[in-house]
């Protein structure tokens, strides 16, 4: 369009154009297009210079209208829930039925209370309160209450809404619920068990737990202790510090069995990162699997947020955060061989070495947002202000880990963390944008051949040694693979070709899809929101808008929104499920992303 405007000024004012003029215009367009595509399809596309992508300017009014659309999406979903499922847990949005899959206490309503308040949905909020006030947090003795899910959905929902509204009812119900859950902590180590019998006040005995479930309650209990003044809530947090206490720790903490066990726990072979499985009897790690995805995600996430919640006074959590992010940056970030997509995966440690699945989970897409938050709020290049020496954090580790920490400390940590955040968030986006639906799959496998794995930290050092203005590896903006800028075939043509889906190079994506489901999850848009707020880069808003449009197009039903299977097809299949976190988190982050 711009080329025509320059060749034929005010083209719309002319009713007749000679054929030779049109031919000349088309010829010039063809020449420029050929040169452009020839340049873009070269190897240089992998490392684009800053400014190669331009996002259309949008007015504040347009973004405000988009926020309104998200608000209407919430109202549509919640109206369907109220009509067909309330006060049960969740709506089945295809069959218009209900399910009690999380204790039967109305999890959708409780989990999304703070979203209602943020959106100004006072009527919906008011209708939920009477039911909450009469909720009995006891179940028959033959049922059990899952501790982790109950904390993050119910207790977290009540406390977040209280923080906004100051409504005493919410504080009191949170106190009541937390007291019912206290039996979870009756273990030898003090770590919470998986489930509780809230009717008889006993826990469901188990001997093992996973990191996410034993280390994702501290913020809720600490805040509850603050607003109720009840020491017992805070005590659950104090004795469950996953970081070995160092010099200067409070004597009261050192005296606990749990703290002593964790203080003496050997993490040499884990490089400072906590594995996924834990023995609830001994309080020690029970496997050698390291990941930021399923089984571990929020356990790592809480380290930074607890540090911030204590007004940056809890040095232990800060050290935990620096250690785990340092391990991830040194060992778990990779680039794909063709497109150079940056992704985070897992590590399984064996006696003879370490292997990675190269799976990239949607659940791990919270991690770029966490990194961006850390860059924004931590003095990563001046950690000595907190008495932290990054190299010294590895003193007890293997020689290889000590060397890796020392080399990492030579870099600008703030830059490295931000580049990792931007590159990972872009890959999260591309797993959406690469699909014909525009929805992201649950799990992809990024690199099926171990010999083709490229460690990001190694590529980053090579780039720094000879950079020429291009973005760091895996960070420069890239178009989705279905774009003609990268592929001369359509998705439909590829699918008709009969080529094996599991061959990443055949499809030009550098990954295959292991789980084609889209479960309405919040992690990707959560990271977009944080990146938008911390960097001011409008591309994260545009990418969020792309995802919201895809949600509207492919998941909306007459009564709500449904998870779908088959995001890689033109017609995904509805799964008849609308998780509470879709209203509590996914729509919340989208709303805040578009709201100025």
CB-facing half-sphere around the CA of 476: CA atoms within 13 A: 18
CB-facing half-sphere around the CA of 264: CA atoms within 13 A: 8
Give me the residues paired with residue 518 across strands.
Answer: 564
Instruction: Please give the Cα distance from 385 to 423 (Å, whole number).
Output: 28
Q: Which structure tokens are listed for 218? A: 């501290």
Instruction: Please give the Cα distance from 261 to 244 (Å, whole number).
Output: 8
Report the catalytic residues. Answer: 149, 297, 442, 523
Instruction: Please give the Cα distance from 544 to 548 (Å, whole number).
Output: 6
CB-facing half-sphere around the CA of 364: CA atoms within 13 A: 27
Vertex 303: Cα angle to 289 and 203 (nearest 5): 70
Task: Report the largest interatomic distance among the alpha carbons of the chain, rounded to a whole angstrom.
Answer: 91
Give the chain's count of helices (H) and strands (E): 26, 19
Give me the residues paired with residue 512 across strands.
Answer: 445
Instruction: Please give the Cα distance from 531 to 418 (Å, whole number).
Output: 9
* 153 and 584 Cβ atoms separated by less than 8 Å: yes
* Rounded alpha-carbon distances, angstroms, from residue 161 to 6, 367, 578: 56, 25, 21
Give me the residues paired with residue 49 across strands.
Answer: 470
The sign one gets for the Cα dihedral 394, 397, 399, 404 is negative
Cα–Cα nearest to 440, from 449, 450, 423, 427: 427
On the 0-12 / 13-18 / 19+ scale of CB atoms within 10 A, 500 is exposed
Q: What is the dihedral of CA 328, 332, 337, 342, to 10 degrees?
A: -40
Instruction: Please give the Cα distance from 228 to 27 (Å, whole number).
Output: 75
The helix, strand and coil proportions of the chain, stated in percent and rounded to the nearest 5, come to 55, 10, 40
């Amino acid at each position: 369009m711009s080329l025509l405007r320059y060749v034929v000024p005010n083209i719309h004012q002319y009713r007749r154009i000679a054929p030779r003029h049109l031919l000349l215009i088309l010829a010039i367009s063809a020449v420029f297009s050929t040169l452009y595509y020839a340049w873009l399809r070269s190897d240089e596309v992998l490392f684009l210079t800053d400014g190669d992508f331009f996002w259309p300017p949008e007015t504040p009014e347009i973004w405000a209208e988009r926020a309104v659309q998200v608000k209407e999406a919430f109202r549509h979903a919640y109206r369907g829930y109220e009509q067909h499922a309330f006060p049960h847990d969740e709506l089945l949005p295809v069959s218009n039925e209900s399910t009690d899959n999380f204790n039967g206490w109305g999890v959708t309503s409780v989990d999304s209370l703070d979203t209602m308040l943020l959106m100004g949905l006072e009527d919906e909020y008011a209708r939920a309160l009477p039911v909450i006030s009469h909720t009995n947090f006891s179940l028959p003795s033959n049922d059990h209450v899952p501790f982790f899910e109950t904390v993050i959905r119910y207790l977290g929902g009540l406390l977040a809404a209280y923080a906004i509204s100051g409504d005493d009812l919410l504080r009191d119900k949170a106190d009541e619920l937390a007291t019912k859950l206290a039996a979870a902590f009756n273990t030898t180590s003090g770590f919470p068990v998986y489930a509780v019998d809230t009717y008889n006040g006993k826990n469901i005995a188990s001997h093992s737990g996973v990191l996410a479930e034993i280390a994702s309650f501290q913020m809720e209990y600490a805040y509850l202790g603050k607003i109720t003044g009840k020491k017992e809530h805070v005590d659950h947090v104090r004795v469950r510090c996953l970081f070995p206490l160092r010099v200067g720790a409070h004597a009261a903490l050192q005296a606990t069995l749990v703290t002593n066990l964790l203080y003496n726990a050997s993490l040499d072979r884990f490089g400072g990162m906590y594995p996924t499985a834990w023995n609830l009897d001994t309080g020690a790690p029970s496997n050698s699997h390291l990941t930021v995805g399923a089984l571990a995600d929020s356990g790592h996430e809480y380290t930074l947020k607890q540090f911030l919640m204590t007004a940056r006074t809890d040095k232990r959590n800060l050290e935990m955060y620096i250690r785990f992010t340092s391990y991830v940056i040194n060992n778990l970030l990779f680039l794909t061989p063709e497109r150079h997509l940056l992704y985070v995966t897992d590590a399984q440690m064996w006696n003879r070495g370490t292997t990675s699945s190269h799976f990239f989970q949607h659940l791990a897409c919270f991690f770029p947002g966490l990194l961006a938050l850390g860059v924004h709020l931590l003095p990563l290049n001046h950690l000595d202000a907190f008495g932290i020496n990054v190299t010294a954090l590895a003193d007890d580790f293997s020689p290889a880990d000590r060397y890796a920490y020392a080399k990492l400390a030579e870099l600008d940590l703030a830059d490295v963390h931000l580049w990792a955040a931007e590159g990972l968030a872009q890959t999260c986006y591309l797993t959406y944008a690469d699909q014909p639906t525009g929805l992201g799959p649950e799990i992809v496998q990024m690199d099926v051949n171990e010999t083709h794995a490229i460690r990001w930290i190694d590529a980053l050092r090579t780039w720094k040694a000879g950079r020429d203005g291009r973005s760091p590896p895996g960070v420069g903006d890239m178009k989705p693979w279905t774009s003609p800028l990268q592929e001369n075939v359509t998705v439909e043509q590829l699918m008709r070709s009969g080529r094996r889906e599991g061959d990443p190079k055949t499809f030009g994506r550098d990954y295959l899809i292991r789980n084609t489901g889209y479960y309405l999850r919040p992690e990707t848009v959560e990271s977009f929101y944080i990146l938008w707020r911390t960097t001011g880069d409008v591309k994260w808003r545009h990418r969020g808008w792309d995802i919201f449009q895809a949600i509207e197009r492919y998941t909306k039903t007459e009564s709500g929104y449904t998870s779908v299977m088959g995001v890689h097809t033109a017609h995904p299949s509805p799964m008849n499920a609308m998780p509470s976190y879709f209203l509590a988190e996914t729509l919340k982050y989208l709303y805040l992303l578009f709201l100025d």
